[in-house]
Structure 1
Amino acid sequence: MLRKLILTAIAISILVGAIVYAKLGQFAAMGKAAESAVQPPETVTAMTLESAQWEQSIPAVGTLEPVQGVTLSTEVGGRVTQIAFESGGTASAGSVLLQLDTSSEDAQLASAEASAELARADLARVRELGKRKLASQDAIDRAEATAKETLAQVGNIRAIIAKKSIRAPFSGRLGLRLVNLGEVLKEGDPIVSLQTLDPIHVDFSVPQQQLGRLKQGMAVRVSADVAPDETFAGAIIAVSPEVDASTRSVRVRALVSNPGERLYAGMFAQVEVMLPDEEQVLPIPATAVLYAPYGDSVFVVEARKNDTSGDAERVLRQQFVRLGRARGDFVDVTDGLKAGETLVTSGVFKLRTGMKVVIDNKLAPNASLEPHPADS
């Protein structure tokens, strides 16, 4: 019995040893294959760095204001007899927008005109009598005063009648109608807003450190959410002579063209004050930067000769850089790179120093200085 157990143990040991030997041989073969295997090069997109000239600007946030804007109201009370405008329409300077009832004033005007005519006739008779020495100077003075008083009454009534015709003080776009036909208005009741929108003002604040760079007449560019694909050109027309003590900023006003009146008063807008000097920069796409807490870096493509085959190949070198201001899809590199170097522009998170690469720009990102992404 003991002999059988010994023989069984020996057989099992031999079998296990054979299996282990076979596996060790397989592992050794796999190791040799891995050592001899060559990793295929990574496909990347790349660009050759070139210096450029960027416009210098001062960014700001502004509010659009009408060049002229007012809410029309009545100077005198009365009943509305005619409305000559529609909500959202346009009005020309001097055009009648609303008419109040003037029936009582018309009757008073007729009476006042008759009194004035009689006073003029009386004055003429008294002056004729005065020439004949039949009327005193006192009578002549009284007749002249009466004539002037009646003429003043006529003028006063005509002024009241004129005030009951509400006219547009300037040309512009009308807002929403706030009155109805037949409504009795009191003095000061609002009727409709009237605003001049083309051109339009944009008011914005600039830090006091930039005050010395601002000049009247400087060009500005304005953009707003209502027209994401457009920029509106204008120029600075005024710089406030005082600095806000709480924000240490100065108020600036620019006049901006607004064709089609797409910009409305009260809108939020992005403003760029264009400075006359241009800046020398070395722009790279923002997608080329590997951002990290310890420092931002990029991957530079370098050409070298393979030690084994002697063939030319491209390998990567990680380069730490210092970044400047951004514009659109680009960012300026102030230190670490120079013009003429080849830079990987996308997929940098999967790269490392010494990796072999092949350049294929068919799927390169389309970077722009003024991107306008479509709504998703």
Structure 2
Amino acid sequence: MLIMIGVVLVIVTIIAGVKFAQISAMIAQAKQPLPAAVVTAMQVPFDDWQPTVTAVGSIKAVRGVDVTTEAGGIVRSIGFTPGQEVAAQALLVQLNADSDIALLHSLEATADLAAIVLKRDRAQLAVNAVSQAQVDTDNADLKAKLAAAEQQRALVAQKTIRAPFAGRIGITAVNPGQYLNPGDKIATLQTFDPIYIDFNVPQTQLEAIAVGQKVSVTADGLSNQTFTGRVSTIDTRFDPTTRNVTVEAGVANPGKNLVPGMFARAVVDSGAVLRYLTVPQTAVTYNPYGTTVFIALSSKNDKGEDVLTAQQTFIKTGPTRGDQVAILSGVKEGDLLITSGQMKLKNGSPVQIDNSAAPLNDAAPTPQEH
């Protein structure tokens, strides 16, 4: 029995010794300082923010029309080249008007004869050779014949199709010798400078839009080009389905690069310039219990060395633009804000700053392709 008790005591002593050694090693390891987490950081600056309203819209010509013909006829000649700039009243298409001109000359001759008859009868009326009724009939006959000639003159003018305003003429499918019916399309005529952009603004942003505000316009395919203009008109009613209102802005287009029908983006400057503490959006962590950031604070470790530690703090955010977000409260100018790598941090975690791969901080980013 004593031997058995001794063996059990020896086994318990061995087990206790092993556990003691393990626990001591764990305690020693726990007392070792944590390795510093590599993060990126920046000092929080103030920046100017221009409040804007951004929308997408379509380019529309200030003047644009499908040129058609009022009268039918065979095309005798075409006076333009598709794609060229034409002046107001420039000849576009001449229809065959020979028979109409001949009829006009006949009607003019008839009117001239009626004028002679009226003059002769007035002279005879002076000597009582004819009655006043005859002179009145001659006068009415002259007016009727002049009106018929004027009507025919207008018909002849309709056979000459001219540009109603200056602009760029589009592609045409009309050829000499082709017969055109009244209303047939000849080509599209558009004025390119200035030009309009129509875009929709939701009801909640209507107060930020006013006639005369500056508008910046960009379009796909026109890289690095920004066109400026002013809000010219706000529609008088909202769309009952979307609750949006159409806004029209006139845009200078001296190079005539903006073309009617293009998709474009409009940015309207609204209100005075504001100043906000501005940081990259990657620095902000959004949680159900609040919005937080980590600030790197300088402190001394057990050895008296200067180290940086992370301190989490709650903030209130404001508007966003591009890669940036405005901070309304929670940090102050000059704070060393951790902009990336904060997912592995907690309060008091040591950090090491390496900005070689800092996140983007662009107010107006563009897609990057590599």
> What is the TM-score with the length of structure 1 in the denominator?
0.82
Deviations 1:268-289 (Å, cap 9, x if unpaired)?
3222221122333221112323
1:287-337, CA deviations, whole angstroms, 9 ceiling, x for partnerless residues?
3234566655433111111221x1222222233444332112211223432
The equivalent position to 1:83 in structure 2, one of 78, 84, 92, is: 78
- Structure-2 residue corresponding to 1:272: 267
Q: Does 1:50 align with 2:45?
A: yes
Residue in 1 that maps onto 2:177 = 182
Between the aligned partners of 1:130 and 1:77, the Cα distance in structure 2 is 46
- Counterpart AA for 1:364: A
Cα separation, partners in 2 of 1:292 and 1:95, compared to 1, 3 Å: same
User: Is the contact between residue 198 and residue 246 of structure 2 (CA under 8 Å) also seen in structure 1?
Assistant: yes
CA drift of 1:213 comes to 3.9
Q: Which of 166, 169, 172 is the matching residue for 1:171? A: 166
1:4-153 equivalence runs, <5 A: 41-153=36-148
Q: Distance in 1 between matches of 2:227 and 2:205?
A: 22
> Structure 1 residues 39 and 214, CA, compared in 2 at 3 Å: closer, same or farther?
closer
1:177–1:192 CA contact under 8 A, matched in 2: yes
Shift in alpha-carbon separation, 1:46–1:169, aligned structure 2, 3 A: same
In structure 1, the gaps of 5 or more residues are 1-23
Q: Is the 8 A contact 1:226 1:263 kept in 2?
A: no
> What is the deviation of 1:108?
0.8
Quote how far apart the aligned CAs of 1:149 are.
Answer: 2.2
User: Is the 1:229–1:372 contact (alpha carbons within 8 Å) kept by the matching residues of 2?
Assistant: no
Alignment CA distance shift 1:268-1:104 (3 Å): same
Q: Given the alignment, which residue of 307, 311, 318 partners 1:317?
A: 311
Aligned equivalents of 2:348, 2:203: Cα separation in 1: 49
Structure 1 outlier segments of 4+, above 6 Å: 27-39
**Residue 343 (str. 1) matches residue 341 (str. 2):** no
Within the candidate set 303, 307, 310, 2:302 is matched to: 307
CA contact (8 A) 2:280 2:360 kept: no
- Maintained 8 Å contact 2:53/2:268: yes
CA distance in structure 2 between the aligned counterparts of 1:213 and 1:35, rounded to whole angstroms: 58
Shift of 1:87: 2.2
Q: Which residue of 2 aligns with 1:227?
A: 222
The alpha-carbon deviation at position 221 of structure 1 amounts to: 2.2
**Letter of the 1:326 counterpart:** T
Compute the displacement of 1:103 (Å).
1.0
Distance 2:111 2:41 in 1: 93
In 1, are the aligned partners of 2:38 and 2:341 still within 8 Å (CA)? no
In structure 2, the partner of 1:256 is 251
| Equivalent position of 1:284 in the other structure | 279
Q: Please, which of 339, 347, 354 is the counterpart of residue 348 of structure 2?
A: 354
Aligned partners of 1:174 and 1:130: how far apart in 2?
Answer: 59
Distance 1:325 1:228, change over 3 A: farther
RMSD after superposition: 2.9
1:275/1:303 CA distance change after superposition, 3 Å: same
Q: Distance in 1 between the 2:346 and 2:82 partners?
A: 65
Out of 211, 218, 224, the position equivalent to 1:216 is 211
- Alignment partner of 1:332 is 2:323: no
Distance in 2 separating the partners of 1:223 and 1:61: 10
Task: Find the aligned partners of 2:159 and 2:34 in 1 and give their Cα distance.
Answer: 91
Uncovered stretches (5+) of structure 2, i.e. residues with no partner: 1-18
1:192 shift after superposition: 0.9
Q: Secondary structure at the match of 2:195?
A: strand
Q: TM-score, normalised by structure 2?
A: 0.84
2:343 and 2:191 mapped to 1: Cα distance? 53
- Encode CA deviations 1:224-244: one digit per residue, 9 max, x unaligned: 223242332222222223333
- Aligned residue pairs total 352
